DNA sequence: ATGCCGAGCATCGCTCGA
């Protein structure tokens, strides 16, 4: 499975199709479609082997879930404020698991009404994720969280200190979600030095690997993370999104008791940890996504 | 303090993103 803030699905349909064909994730969460539901490339995605569930919006926002398997809609908006019409949240059931695709408000400039909206949205999200975790069912939260969780998740924290993504309130809200019991998939695989997921278009930040980690995959306690990573090559492509896809391989936690033998996927994850993070120009890790 | 880049559109100048 994977999550990708694609920054216009119309502008980058070809890149999306190439990436799907190459990496073949089972489930994909997309954010910042910048397209209405009608303008989403449903047929091209279908031809690539994926069903799609889209909550679009003209010009801004927009989220979608793609799946190779049957995809049952659960909710198409974050509960808690019927007046909030921004297309930022979507849940679907796939293969007995629940997938939530979220695009958390950016919140800049800060302070101000946009930051207030971000924090209110986060409070609504915390309620929903607490409900989902409490079911004990396998649940995955994927998306652009617009939060740099700690100073270790950004190239140079002091240069972004006033940004909404680094504010103590934003970080506390993210920590509150994690404290419900979720596992941060990237952090689980890279406990020491995490890979970045976003590099803005300015000042050759990509070329300098001056990035941020703001796209996150959180899994519930019914699931176990086998491996995870970032498809950095997509950020180095022609006319790229400013975000790279983040992927994770998971399995049901109960499987561990049934199959105690070591799995190759686990070995691969262990080997990956011992390597230094690749440079932007280096080929990305094998982009297999469960 | 600002623009830097890139995308959408009520398009050639603004808003938004992060």
C1’ B7 / CA A184, Å: 30
CA distance A18 to A64: 18
C1’ B14 / CA A58, Å: 17
What pLDDT sits at residue A254?
85
Domain boundaries of chain A, sorted by first residue: 70-258
Q: Nearest residue to B18 (CA, C1')?
A: A106
Give per-residue pLDDT as tens, A173-191. Answer: 999 999 999 999 999 999 9
Measured in degrees and rounded to the nearest 5, phi and psi for residue A268 equal -65, -40
C1’ B16 / CA A199, Å: 17
Q: What are residue A53's DSSP bridge partners?
A: A65
CA distance A108 to A247: 27
Give the list of residues 6+ apart from residue A222 with CB closer than 8 angstroms, or none: A136, A137, A138, A139, A252, A253, A254
A220: left (phi over 0), alpha (psi -120 to 50) or beta: beta
Residue A9 clears pLDDT 50, i.e. is over it? yes
Percent of chain A with pLDDT over 70: 88
Q: What pTM did the predictor assign? A: 0.89
Residue A284 clears pLDDT 60, i.e. is over it? no
As a whole number of angstroms, the longest Cα–Cα distance in chain A is 54
Q: Is A18 helix (H, G, I), strand (E, B) or coil?
A: helix
Residue A237 clears pLDDT 70, i.e. is over it? yes
Q: Which CATH superfamily is domain A70-258 in?
A: Endonuclease/exonuclease/phosphatase (3.60.10.10)
Residues 8-67 of A with CB under 7 A from strand B: 8, 10-11, 32, 34, 58-60
């Amino acid at each position: 499975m994977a999550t990708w803030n694609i920054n216009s699905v119309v502008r980058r349909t070809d890149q999306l199709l190439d990436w799907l064909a190459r990496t073949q994730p089972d489930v994909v969460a997309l954010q910042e479609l910048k397209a209405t539901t009608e303008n989403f490339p449903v047929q091209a995605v279908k031809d690539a082997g994926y069903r799609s569930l889209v909550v679009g919006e003209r010009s801004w926002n927009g989220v979608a879930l793609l799946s190779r398997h049957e995809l049952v809609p659960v909710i198409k908006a974050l509960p808690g404020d019927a007046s909030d019409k921004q297309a930022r949240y979507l849940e679907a059931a796939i293969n007995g698991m629940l997938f939530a695709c979220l695009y958390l408000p950016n919140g800049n400039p800060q302070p101000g009404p946009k930051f207030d909206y971000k924090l209110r949205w986060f409070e609504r999200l915390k309620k929903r994720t607490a409900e989902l975790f409490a079911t004990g069912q396998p649940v995955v939260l994927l998306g652009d969280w617009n939060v740099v969780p700690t100073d270790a998740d950004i190239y140079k924290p002091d240069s972004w200190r006033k940004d909404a993504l680094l504010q103590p309130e934003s970080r506390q809200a993210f920590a509150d979600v994690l404290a419900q019991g979720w596992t941060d998939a990237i952090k689980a695989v890279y406990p020491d030095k995490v890979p970045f997921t976003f590099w803005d278009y300015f000042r050759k930040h990509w070329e300098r690997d001056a990035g941020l980690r703001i796209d996150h995959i959180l899994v519930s306690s019914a699931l176990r993370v086998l491996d995870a990573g970032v498809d950095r090559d997509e950020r180095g492509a022609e006319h790229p999104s400013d975000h790279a896809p983040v992927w994770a391989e998971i399995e049901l936690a109960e499987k561990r008791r049934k199959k105690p033998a070591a799995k190759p996927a686990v070995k691969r994850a262990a080997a990956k940890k011992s390597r230094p993070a690749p440079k932007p120009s280096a080929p990305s890790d094998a982009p297999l996504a469960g």
